[in-house]
Amino acid sequence: MSLLLKTSFVLITCAPLLSQQTVSPPAETQSNPQVKEQEAPQQTPPSAPQNPPKPESGPSTTPRPLKDQAWEVLRSGASADKPADRAAAVHATGLIPNDPQARKMAETGIKDEAAEVRSAAAAALGEMRARQSISKLKTATEDKDPAVALAAAHALLLLNDDAGYEVYYEVLTGERKTGKGLLAQAAEYKDPKKLAEVGFHEALGFIPFGSLGWSALKMVKKGDTSPARAAAATVLAKDRDPKTTEALVNAVGDKNWVVRAAALEALAMRGNPAVLGTVDLYLSDEEGEVKYTAAATALRLIAIKRSKTTAKPKKN
């Protein structure tokens, strides 16, 4: 527990590093007006980050709507051959609340043959607050893989369903209150080293390293500040200062994919559709975690933009 608290403290206190190492926008775009948090028709969007990924070349055709492109990216990732790609795409759906298509994609992932995909799907259902999926999450708490069971349990607690406590009770005591559950029989619970690893993995969801989780942890090397900057981006999602939006837009162009993904997720949580032009550039990022997060971010911001448009009062 002390290790986790120390990890949380280090990550949070490293937030100022974000402003020190983000990529500055190109010189020709630095004169653009600063982004304003309240969207307006005449508002100039934030400047694009430096060196965005180049779109894939192809026949000259009329560009498809951003929404269609974003869904295609997510569907492609969710059905990819590599489990890591499927997990990243499915987990990104957690950024899209109140969307039946995103929920069904996550529900499909929770039945995947790969444990990392099932775990990502369970986490996504919790993050999107999919109460319609509670029964599927309860079934997932019986998964033989501890990471999946714990992810499902945490999701249930996010949905205010106390059934999630059963898994944590089993982790503590070795058995469930109901007498059911095979979790304690898993190899991870017979090997103290593996148990500690699972605990640290799951604890990442409770600190400002957020949904990047285990993939980001494996990227950490001595002297690498990217996890701290990613954590800072996550924390800054709640800072309403327009300058922070500009800083996050610049961070999307960071050379490290962990920072790029965290910055995109932060922009999604801020809910400012003015950054859609920047998000669009990263649908073709070479890193799956980044392009899937960009796709989910685009869909979330498009929905917010539409809701603001329909909410405007009609003129007499």
- The answer to the question of residue 166 being in a domain is yes
The answer to which of 25-29, 59-63, 154-158 has the lowest mean pLDDT is 25-29
* Mean pLDDT, range 147-153, rounded to an integer: 86
**Most confidently predicted of 37-41, 240-244, 283-287:** 283-287
The model's pLDDT over 18-33, given as tens digits with 9 standing for 90+, comes to 444 444 444 444 444 4
pLDDT of residue 234: 82
Domain CATH number, residue 93: 1.25.10.10
Is 154 part of any domain? yes
Q: Cα–Cα distance between 11 and 216 in angstroms, integer?
A: 13
Q: Please, which pLDDT band fits residue 183 given cuts at 50, 70 and 90?
A: low
| 112 domain residue, yes or no | yes
Q: What is the pLDDT of residue 233?
A: 84
> The domain containing residue 203 runs over which residues?
64-207
The domain total for the chain is 2
The chain-wide mean pLDDT, for the chain, equals 76
Quick check: 80 pLDDT over 80? Answer: yes
Assess whether 188 and 265 both reside in one domain: no
Q: Is the domain of 215 the same as that of 185? A: no
Both 188 and 125 in a single domain? yes
210-266 pLDDT, tens digit per residue, is 444 545 555 555 556 677 678 778 878 888 888 999 999 999 999 999 889 999 999
pLDDT band at 190 (very low <50, low <70, confident <90, very high): low
Note the pLDDT of residue 11: 45
Average pLDDT over residues 296-314: 86
